[in-house]
Structure 1
Amino acid sequence: MDLAFLHPLYADPGPWASVYVDLSRHTEDTAHERELTAEAIARELADQGADDATCRAVRDAVNELRHASDPHGRALFARAGRVVLDPPLARAPYGGTTADWAPLPHVAPLLDLAGEDPLSVVAYIDRKGADFELRTALGSRDAGSVTGRQWPLHRTGSADWSERHFQLRVENTWEHNAAEVADALAVCQDETGADLLILVGDDRERRAVRERLPKRLRDRVTEAGHGAGSRLLDGEVERLRDDHVRERAREDLERFLAARAPDDEGRAGAAEGVPALVEAAREHRIDELLVIPDGPDTHREVWIGEDADQLAVRRTELSTLGEQNSWAARADDALLRSVVMTGAPAVSMTPALRGGPADRAPVGGLGALLRWR
């Protein structure tokens, strides 16, 4: 997950209100229920010590969602009387609506609730061209189309020389159109930043387009076994997107497991456990952070200073490093602040470990691939 969008949360010091609002339930009384939820959230934050202005800002923001059509939910991050960020969620919050008041924004749940939502382009391919559709967990929209040569497109059954010549022209038309579709799909991916390209159509057309895509896109492509003219249902797209997320998470996990083993000089290319990760974060060595959001060490207490690389397992360590002010924070949120500010990504290991052995997981639910050993 690219965490760059979280930068506004670290431009100012905390404390922060972090609210995950469940909007997945829709009834005749939804608007009234959400008004009650807004009041309950404000009270919960006040009980945790939040200032009145921030409580009001969050209450008003949740009230504004009473008629929202978001299918899953919304996260709200607020401080000093203002909601700074309110990203939509790709799935409903586990356990319903929650509210926290803490020195750092509680962004770790986003890895599961918003991060595992690959932006997908569905390409409906036939011999004439293709229609593109942009799909996310929040819905779909048209993403353009491409039309190739219109004639000739169909084979004949004759075997004389003129008909064989005609069939060769048909083959050339198909190949030309496949190249046109591949080029247009590559442009569409570049413009949208899509994580996954889903090819729909007859076997031959899908294969022809896939073979002509740039190499950089090959690992982003999957195919749906539908004939030309078919349209994918939401459930089918969701399954393909889930498969893609699971495969990418498994690849990250395999890289982590391979890097776990020390080299000939006893140095490992991966770290796990809070003390090792805190040290790596202070040295800006985390290349990718791996998180199991409900892992036992994610809520372990660490100590942070005003800057992202000021973190320690014990408070006295920060004093030794010259930091005058320090606060207790969750380990996952402290590490996520660090990687956001150093430009490293983070990924949830939940999809990779689904149904797999627990001993493959990073110790305590937190691990990292390192920039150098």
Structure 2
Amino acid sequence: MAFVPQVKKWPTDRAVLLVHGIGNASGNGEAAFPLTELKAAIGADATKIAIYTLNYDFINDWAARKLQLGSAIDALGKAIADHYDNAELSATLAEYCGDLLWPVLHRETRLAIHDAYLAQLDQIMVDCINSMAARGEDPATAKVSIIAHSLGCYHTFEALHTACTDPQFNLQPGTDLTQLESVVLMASPVQLMRTIASGIKKLIPSPSELAILNSDGLSLPAEIMDGERILAARQFVSVTGTQDPVGGHLLGKLNDWAFMNIKGQRTLLVNQSLVAGDPVTSLKAALLEGATKVGAVASLVKDPHSWSDYVSGQSELLTDLLTKGLVT
């Protein structure tokens, strides 16, 4: 089915786009997003913000596309397992992370998501102009933010790089005056994907299209204007947990090869714990089964990759960014 951007009337001069990490496995439309947690985190000011959501349920053959990849999926899983180098967890991590990262191997899927993302950003800017102009307000004072989770961070990274460098989309932050207020990347796999994708580059269709594989390394999306870098957003914030393998940690240890640390970003580490006892068993349970399916430890295990928990735990940050526009 064709992607249809959300259209909203802004109550004030602020908007936020929530970007999901997975495809139709997200299920239930907006119910898949941590909207309740976000509104609780920022309180009464939530009513003053136009809240958009982006997932990929318009791709209705998500599982079939993955099956088409065949041996490439196996190579992806092996590369993930080899890098984590933990015999007890390698199979679990290969399956879990592979389920998140496989779209990088499927060009049609990548481009469909990429185009949908840019179409939604464009619609947000149109809604901004229409809503604010109708109230006699200057759209140039609008404050738009993005909160992305998991693979949604990768899609955000790629889409914003395109927005900054390709004038056809009219989303360049300097030329088109569309600089975002903030981008919050929760449990970002961008560095993880760069490392893994670099090792299986021959299996990736049109790898030169990917910003994560830029030969100069990872950089924050920006437009070069009169020799000056105009960032896509005034502030980029990376939030990741100390037990979240997608965000670059394994059993409390930071892995440089998987941890996103781009010059200019603000990094917040969330201290996480799994459960008393064997940490390997706890992490397996958290990632593969979930708290309702792990028997005796069900009430103790928490998913370190939970988007809802990330949002609930960052009330102060989100309040500052979405209601005050603070840049620190």
> TM-score with structure 1 length normalisation?
0.26
- Higher helix proportion (structure 1 or 2): 2
> TM-score with structure 2 length normalisation?
0.29
- Higher strand proportion (structure 1 or 2): 1
| Bigger radius of gyration | 1
Q: Which has the higher contact order (CA 8 A, sep 6+)?
A: 2
